[in-house]
Structure 1
């Protein structure tokens, strides 16, 4: 029964962190609420999109006119006298805002942005138009969308799975450190394996597909996702080495807490960004 409870709490903590990851982070959909004529509307606007433009084409200024289709829905469904247009420009930069019109498809809306290089960003402002009146959504902060190259599922899915298995094992190791020390140690070694393969091997491969570079963390760059993964991995290695000479259970708990905090940092925060002036991907943005 006790063993079941340990796994139960480890799963609950992991699921909570997964949900938090889904609700936060700069590439997850932007949740927007607004009211018109005493009716409350909700929408989720995309903040990531795939691109067919390559870094080589961007560097050579050989980008043909290509577009990325994006979609969003309004809840409840907007009436027929609603129209929504999008104001957008490159980000960062001082470009003039351009305007496109969305298409209403039975309550869902679609529009097309000019495709950007991998890690390229646009900032946009949805504008709700009704009977000649306009309401600009997210007028102050805007919505920033980042583009990425497609990542094969055969690489992406194992990466995601192993990262969350590593977190589950880290939670279990921390919870059981003072009760089932040997099992806690075994879970710790499995954390190193899963985090090493998922985060330090498959993670860079995913990033290479998406943004054109294997590693953009320390010492090559300031990518927070790379750095936090490396930090958690090294802390687990240190904790397990120091537990070889004598039991230091508190280090396993500390490693688990640090791993949880690392996972709670929204994914892609301070990540890759294409600099149009330099013609290169920079990090820590």
Structure 2
């Protein structure tokens, strides 16, 4: 295989590995919707219970059903609160059972159950409570480049690993790109995104326990060390491998795990707002 063809193949492999890791992280994260289906009177009802909502409106909960005799209700309360459980009926609208969960401040959470009814029989959709976290609006011109640079950092990180074992010609160059893109995406734009979403620039160590912040700075430090080590010795493989393994471990940890949240038990006991007209 020619050098040019090998380079193309390595890039293709890097793209596949990167996309796979990103999909895995998103799909296993605490903000990924809970999906499932239940059979009611011969009808298969599919549902998606959201676990993240951006904006200042109430969060919509919708279940598509064909049988208008099927009804539903939602039971909810603020997560980490002393609230009593509240119950709201779901309304049939355009072939869907719909209701809303009251909006919360950024990082506020609500835990909820949904169940459907047909001829007096209950069909719970979730046996474990679903927890939805609210975020503020993040402008696309901030969010898009943040995602872009984070994706690039992972892509070039994967390319570093492949370069080490199959070419070892541009390892230092690729490592430098990882450092730059991770810095821009994670340490410059990341805190700005967090400020819009949760009204705080940084909630990792030493100010909090946000795992996203902590793993970002940890990964960045490893790549900076790897870059300096490669400048001293371009044949060094230990630190680039350590940095790549650290980055892969970061993406294997579910996105938003141990993220920002409001503990309502530690602030005034203001009950969750209810809007029974929706």
TM-score, normalised on structure 2? Answer: 0.88
SS in 2 for 1:150: coil
Give the whole-Å Cα distance in 1 for the aligned partners of 2:97 and 2:152.
36
Runs of 4+ in 1 over 6 A off after TM superposition: none
The aligned residue for residue 165 of structure 1 is 152
Tell whether the 8 Å contact from 1:68 to 1:112 is kept in structure 2 after alignment: yes
Tell whether the 8 Å contact from 1:181 to 1:249 is kept in structure 2 after alignment.
Answer: no
Cα displacement string for residues 161-216 of structure 1 (whole angstroms, at most 9, x for unaligned residues): 11111111100111111333231221111001101010111000000111111011
1:260 aligns with 2:248: yes
Q: 1:92 to 1:32 in 2, by over 3 A?
A: farther
- Report 1:196-211 matches (<5 A): 196-211=183-198
- Aligned residue number for residue 98 of structure 1: 86
SS in 1 for 2:223: helix
2:220 aligns with 233
Cα shift at 1:110: 2.7
Superposed displacement of residue 39, structure 1: 4.9
Which residue is equivalent to 1:60?
Answer: none
**Residue correspondences, number:** 263
Structure 1 stretch displaced more, 125-134 or 98-107:
98-107
1:212 matched residue in structure 2: 199
**Separation of aligned partners in 1, 2:92 and 2:163:** 54
Q: Which runs of 5+ in 1 are unaligned?
A: 53-66, 281-285
Tell me the CA shift for residue 238 of structure 1.
Answer: 1.0
Distance of 1:8 and 1:81 partners within structure 2: 52
Counterpart residue number, 1:131: 119
Q: Paired residue for 2:62? A: 72
Q: Counterpart of 1:44?
A: 48
Q: Is the aligned partner of 1:115 residue 2:103?
A: yes
Structure-2 change in CA distance of 1:218 and 1:69 (3 Å): closer
1:105–1:23 distance in 2 versus 1, CA, 3 Å: farther
Alignment of 1:234-253 (within 5 A): 234-246=221-233, 247-253=235-241
Q: Which residue of 1 aligns with 2:24?
A: 20
| Residue of structure 2 in register with 1:270 after alignment | 258
Greater Cα offset, 248-257 or 201-210? 248-257
Q: Distance in 2 between matches of 1:42 and 1:267?
A: 25
Query: Does residue 89 of structure 1 match 2:93?
Result: no
**Contact 2:150/2:186 (CA < 8 Å) preserved in 1?**
yes
Residue aligning to 1:10: 14
Change beyond 3 A, Cα 1:169–1:109: farther
Aligned residues of 1:150 and 1:210 also touching (Cα < 8 A): yes
Q: 1:27 aligns to what SS in structure 2?
A: coil
| Displacement of 1:248 | 1.1
Distance 2:25 2:66 in 1: 29
Task: Give the C-alpha shift of residue 37 in structure 1.
Answer: 4.3
